[in-house]
Amino acid sequence: MYGPLFGTLGVTFSMAFAAAGAAYGTAKAGTGIAMMSMRRPDMFMKGIIPVVMAGVNAIYGLVLSVIISGRIQPGGKDYTINDGFAHCMAGLVCGLCSLGGGYAVGDSGYDGVIALSQQPKMFIGMILIQAFASVLGLYGLIVGLTLMAG
C-alpha cells in the first residue's frame, strides 16, 4: 500500500535535488561568465563549459527518475514496501549527490572562468576541476542504480 508512495518520493527527490544543483551551478557559473565577458569577450565560448557541466547533474537525476517511475506499480502486489524504500533511497542518494555536484561545479566554475580571463593557461586546469566536481552526480547515479538492483 505504501510502496508506491515511497517510490514516487524517490522520483521526486532524484529530480528535485538534481535540478536544484544544476540550477545553482548554472546560475553561479553564468555569473562568472558574465564577469569574464566584460574583460575578455573573445573567451566566452571557453567559459561556457562550467554551465554545460552543471546541467549534466540534472540529467543524472532525470535518468534515475525515469527508471524508478517505470518500475512503480500502483495497486500491484509485486511492488512491495521494500521496493518503495529502495527506490526512495536511490532517488535521495542520486539527488543529493547531484545537488552537491551542482554546487561544486558552480562555485569552481565561477572562480575558474574569472581566473581564465586573467590567465588563459588555466583552461586545462579549470576543465579538470570541473570534471572532478561533476563526477559527484555520476557517483550518486551509480549508487542509486545499485540500490535499485539489490
Return the CATH number at 140. Answer: 1.20.120.610
Indicate if the pLDDT at residue 11 is higher than 90.
yes
Question: How many angstroms separate the most distant Cα atoms in the chain?
Answer: 62
pLDDT band with cut points at 50, 70 and 90 for residue 65:
very high
Asked if 133 contacts 112 with a C-beta cutoff of 8 angstroms, the reply is: no
Cell numbers standing for residue 31: 555569473
Range of the domain at 112: 3-149
- DSSP letters spanning the chain: --HHHHHHHHHHHHHHHHHHHHHHHHHHHHHHHHHHHHH-GGGHHHHTHHHHHHHHHHHHHHHHHHHHHHH--TT-SSS-HHHHHHHHHHHHHHHHHHHHHHHHHHHHHHHHHHHHHH-GGGHHHHHHHHHHHHHHHHHHHHHHHHHHH-
Indicate if the pLDDT at residue 75 is higher than 90.
no
pTM score: 0.91
Average confidence score pLDDT of the chain:
93
Indicate if the pLDDT at residue 78 is higher than 90.
no
DSSP classification of residue 1: -
Q: How many domains does the chain have?
A: 1
Cell numbers standing for residue 65: 527518475
